[in-house]
């Protein structure tokens, strides 16, 4: 039996949308948000998704004294040379809302043709058995799509209303939580992470 199914794990996030998605994907595991331990968000000083996910997982594990899962995710738009990337949550500035970020994105893409609006959501998920874990478990997920000219739908969060899902011919914000979690970058990364942890049974000894 692995640590995922036997021990409480802290989720290194204060983002309500992310917390709901991860708990929905892993409902059978005792995963709790870092806020239960009065752990605040740490500064994301990394230049890559991997660096930021490790920073967040280590911080949550250190102050909760529990194993931690963290993710760093964002939207990568080809026409913007990969922006907003690692600053997706604060694209319009610190303290910006989802609406602010979406509006900035649409403004930056004004005049960009349909075929040049390709984009993808990226998620890197990290598990650390403790704050000094020398070998974090790292998984990633990618969700391909394109950016719409205006928001559609009211589900989800972040850039979901402007992220077109080609295989279903709708925006991410028009999907139910169940369907989104089966397709999304975060769902893919979390399932990959779970498989990697289960494959490394020595983690139960941490």
Q: What integer pLDDT is reported at residue 201 of this predicted model? A: 56
Range of 8's domain? 3-205
Question: Would you state the pLDDT for residue 1?
Answer: 38
Asked if 72 is an active-site residue, the reply is: yes
Is the backbone peptide bond immediately before 75 cis, with ω within 30 degrees of 0? no
Contact 67, 130 (CB under 8 A): yes
Q: Taking phi first (over 0 means left), then psi (-120 to 50 degrees means alpha), and beta for anything else, what does residue 82 get?
A: left
What pLDDT, on a 0 to 100 scale, did the predictor assign at position 4?
A: 53
Query: Domains in the chain: how many in total?
Result: 1
Marked catalytic residue, from 41, 71, 72, 100: 72
> What's the confidence (pLDDT) of residue 155?
94
H or E element: which one contains 171?
A: strand 170-171
Model pLDDT for residues 152-206, shown as the tens digit of each residue: 999 999 999 999 999 999 999 999 999 998 999 999 998 999 889 877 654 454 4
In this prediction, residue 203 carries a pLDDT of: 47
Sheet holding 170-171, edge to edge: 31-33, 9-11, 68-77, 118-128, 137-147, 163-165, 170-171
Residue 20 confidence (pLDDT): 78
pLDDT at 182: 92
pLDDT at 205: 47
- Residues of the chain with confidence (pLDDT) below 70: 1-6, 28-29, 200-206
Please state, in angstroms and rounded to a whole number, the distance separating the CA atoms of residues 80 and 76: 8
Contact 55, 45 (CB under 8 A): yes
CATH number at residue 140: 3.90.950.10
């Amino acid at each position: 039996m692995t640590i995922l199914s036997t021990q409480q794990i802290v989720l290194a996030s204060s983002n309500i949308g992310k917390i709901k998605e991860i708990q929905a994907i892993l409902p059978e595991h005792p995963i709790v948000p870092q806020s239960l331990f009065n752990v605040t968000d740490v500064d994301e000083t990394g230049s890559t998704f991997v660096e930021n996910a490790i920073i967040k997982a280590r911080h949550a594990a250190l102050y909760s004294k529990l194993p931690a899962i963290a993710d760093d995710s964002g939207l990568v738009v080809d026409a913007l040379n990969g922006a907003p990337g690692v600053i997706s949550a604060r694209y319009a500035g610190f303290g910006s809302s989802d609406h602010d970020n979406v509006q900035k994105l649409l403004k930056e893409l004004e005049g960009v043709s349909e075929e040049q609006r390709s984009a993808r959501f990226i998620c890197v998920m990290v598990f650390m058995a403790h704050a000094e874990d020398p070998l974090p478990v790292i998984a990633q997920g990618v969700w391909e799509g394109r950016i719409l000219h205006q928001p559609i739908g009211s589900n989800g969060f972040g850039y979901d209303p402007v992220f077109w899902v080609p295989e279903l011919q709708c925006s991410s914000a028009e999907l139910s939580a169940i369907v989104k979690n089966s397709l999304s970058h975060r769902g893919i990364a979390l399932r990959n992470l779970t498989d990697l942890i289960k494959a490394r049974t020595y983690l139960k000894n941490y």
